Structure 1
Amino acid sequence: MATVDDLKFQEFDAAANLLAANPDATTISIDEPGEKPKKKHGILRNSGREEDDELLGTDDSDKTELLAGQKKSAPFWTFEYYQTFFDVDTYQVLDRIKGSVFPVPGKNFVRLYIRSNPDLYGPFWICATLVFAIAISGNLSNFFIHLGQPTFRYVPEFRKVSIAATAIYAYAWLVPLALWGFLMWRNGKVVNIVSYSFLEIVCVYGYSLFIYIPVAILWIIPQKALRWVLVMFALCLSGSVLVMTFWPAVRDDNRRIALATVVTIVLLHALLAIGCLV
């Protein structure tokens, strides 16, 4: 009569030889009824931890910052280093444009849209499109205003392209450079201050200018009052993006310095908007 030991499954030499020859081979083992699976608890604990990370948002932020660091690891004199600045897809660009046109109160534009992968593709083409939109609308507006006058002779003003390009690209690069240097300087004096990279600041300023593109197209309408209303509307939307983004970076600083910084950001932004209109 067979004993209990005879009924148990045995490990045969063939299986051992198979594993030695091919470690990746699939084997099936049947555990004892009294044994409990040990790995399931680890899986459950890991899944619970992932759910907590998703709720707190710490898991995504750590992963995105790690990926951002990996993308910028190439030396700056190589083509691959600058190629990463344009490594974005259409959905990312559209999402950032939407975030700049419809700012969410209390949300940081950098942390919400940019920090995972700051780019120069969107800011470059937004500035280029805005330059031609301002130049074309300015010429057409001047044409419609003087249309019907017997002494009027239309002459295209190509200098508006160069003026608009100089003003917009200087604003989109020099102002972020000055702001980045200021934040780096204050970061050495205030421990808890929030810091942004130069690329992140350029990205914020570039996307904040998108709202002026449809506004510039509407400047073709020869109504000064309407044009001023459109400029003020665009200024409030884009200015709010800048304020909500950079206020957390200076709010822990001296109160006067923080307010002066935010006011300077808004005034420079308003100066660009009014200058483009005039």
Structure 2
Amino acid sequence: MATAKDPFQFQEFEEAGNLLEANRDATTISIEDDDVEPERQKRAAGLNPSGDDDEDTLPYDDKSELLSGQQKNAPFWTFEYYQKFFDVETRHVKERILGSVLPWPGKNFVQVHLRRNPDLYGPFWICTTLVFAIAISGNISNFLMHLGKPNYKYTPEFQKVTIAATAIFTYAWLVPLALWGFLLWRNNKIMNLVSYSFMEIICVYGYSLSIYIPAVVLWILPFEWLRWCTIVVALCLSGSVLVMTLWPAVKEDHPKVIVAVLSAVVLFNVLLAVGCKAYFFSRPEPALPIDITTAAVVIKTSSLT
């Protein structure tokens, strides 16, 4: 039976509690295991405390660079530089296509749809689809116009793909390049508050061509009035997207410069549409009437020789 003061009774915690209650400002020291402190020091130094050499721990990986904001920009001649312009979601591409097909007055395409995040995925595939749509529709239209003629033999014109690709991609790349250079030069002169990057202008031009894809498909039908109506509608929608987008960038310039820039934008758009219609969907030349007397003389002369 234990006495009131058992010498084997553990009373350390009671004494420590009494001391802390007496002096609350006292400093306490916790004694830990000998292996814990070196482990913490190794982790703080970035070393692997478990000693496993199989896992390669990179102190400067991509995630740490993104978090620290020290990621280096790739040069423009590498694929890594253009990779970010193809990282776009499908819903964003759909919104931008609808925004270019159905422009709304007072809404800037760059501010509403791009949000300083241009892409090349949509413009590239829109231009490529338009190239094949023009070439295929032109061949089908040519076939339908000559259908039923006894002396006509259909041969597919594959060179139309090359010609269409040259026209479309030249318009979608060189015209924005010239426009961007001109706006950059004028921006340095008048210090305009609104300026667009080269990729933003290319993105606007690429998406503005999306309305021509259904228009070109309708050009298969051999009705000239339908073709010209679709050209006018496509020109109005595509041109309005370009004009409303570029207006904030030139509105503070000289009036003559404003008229020249917007007129050039509309003129190149008209030349592209009318040129494609005239070359790929031109009406066949009417067959010359054959004179019976002339034909008989030619046949007799050839038989005598």
TM-score range, shorter chain: 0.7 to 0.9
Please state how far the C-alpha of 1:193 moved relative to its aligned partner: 4.5
- Structure 2 Cα separation of the partners of residues 217 and 80 of structure 1: 36
Distance, in Å, in 2 between the alignment partners of 1:163 and 1:110 is 30
1:196 matched residue in structure 2: 196
Any conservation in 2 of the 1:193–1:250 contact (CA below 8 Å)? no
* Residue 130, structure 1, aligned to residue 134, structure 2: no
2:250 and 2:149 map into 1 onto residues whose CA distance is 54
* SS across alignment from 1:196: coil
Tell me the residue number matched to 2:270. 270
Q: Residues 137 and 77 from structure 1, CA distance in 2 versus in 1: closer, same or farther, beyond 3 angstroms?
A: closer
2:90 is matched with 90
- Give the superposed CA RMSD: 2.6
On the 8 A contact 1:133/1:217 being kept in 2, the answer is: yes
In 2, distance between residues paired with 1:138 and 1:243?
29
**Structure 1 counterpart SS, 2:130:** helix
Query: Could you say which residue in structure 1 is the equivalent of 2:207?
Result: 207
Q: Work out the number of aligned pairs and report it.
A: 220
Q: Tell me the TM-score normalized by structure 1.
A: 0.74
> How far off is 1:162 after superposition?
0.7
Q: Find the aligned partners of 2:216 and 2:115 in 1 and give their Cα distance.
A: 29
Alignment partner of 1:158 is 2:158 = yes
Are the structure 2 counterparts of residues 145 and 272 from structure 1 closer, same or farther at C-alpha, using a change threshold of 3 Å? same
1:149 CA displacement = 1.2
User: Equivalent residue for 1:216?
Assistant: 216
Q: 8 Å contact 1:72–1:84 — kept in the other structure? A: no
In our comparison, the structure showing a higher alpha carbon Rg is 2
The 3 A distance-change label for structure 1 pair 72 and 81 is farther
Q: In structure 2, do the counterparts of structure 1 residues 148 and 231 end up closer, same or farther at CA, with 3 Å as the change threshold?
A: same
Q: Normalization by structure 2: what TM-score?
A: 0.67
With over 3 angstroms needed to count, the CA separation of the structure-2 counterparts of 1:73 and 1:175, relative to structure 1, is same
Once the two structures are TM-superposed, the CA of residue 229 in structure 1 deviates from its matched residue by 0.7
Tell me, in whole angstroms, the C-alpha distance in 2 between the residues paired with 1:78 and 1:135.
Answer: 32
- Structure 1 unaligned segments of length 5 or more: list them: 1-10, 22-68
Q: How does 1:59-74 map to 2 (within 5 A)?
A: 73-74=73-74
What is the aligned partner in structure 2 of residue 246 from structure 1?
246
Q: Which residue of 1 aligns with 2:281?
A: none
Runs of 4+ in 1 over 3 A off after TM superposition: 69-75
Paired residue for 1:76?
76
Letter paired with 1:228: W
Taking the aligned partners of 2:175 and 2:124, their CA distance within structure 1 comes to 15
Which residue of structure 2 lines up, in the alignment, with residue 64 of structure 1? Answer: none
Give the Å deviation of 1:155: 1.2
Give the aligned partner of residue 120 of structure 1. 120
Residue 72 (structure 1) shift: 9.0
Change (3 A) 1:111 1:130: same
Alpha-carbon distance, 1:77 to partner: 4.2
The unaligned stretches of length 5 or more in structure 2 are: 1-23, 31-35, 37-68, 279-305
Q: For 2:177 and 2:265, how far apart are their aligned partners in 1?
A: 13
Partners of 2:153 and 2:265 in 1: how far apart? 41
C-alpha distance in structure 2 between counterparts of 1:218 and 1:108, whole Å:
29
Q: What amino acid maps onto 2:90 in structure 1? A: T
Deviations along 1:114-158, one digit per CA (max 9) or x if unpaired, are 133101111110000000000000010111111111121111111
**Cα distance in structure 1, aligned partners of 2:141 and 2:261:** 36
Match of 2:303 in 1: none
Question: CA distance change for structure 1 residues 71 and 143 in 2, over 3 Å: closer, same or farther?
Answer: farther
- Matched residue, 1:29: none
Question: Shift of the alpha carbon at 1:71?
Answer: 9.4
Alpha-carbon distance change, 133 to 196 in structure 1, aligned in 2, over 3 angstroms: same
Residue 142 of structure 2 is matched in structure 1 by 142
Q: Is residue 123–residue 203 contact of structure 1 (8 Å, CA) maintained in 2?
A: yes
**C-alpha distance in 1 between matches for 2:135 and 2:206:** 18
Distance 1:235 1:221, change over 3 A: same
Given that 1:218 and 1:227 are in contact with CA atoms closer than 8 Å, whether structure 2 keeps it comes out as yes
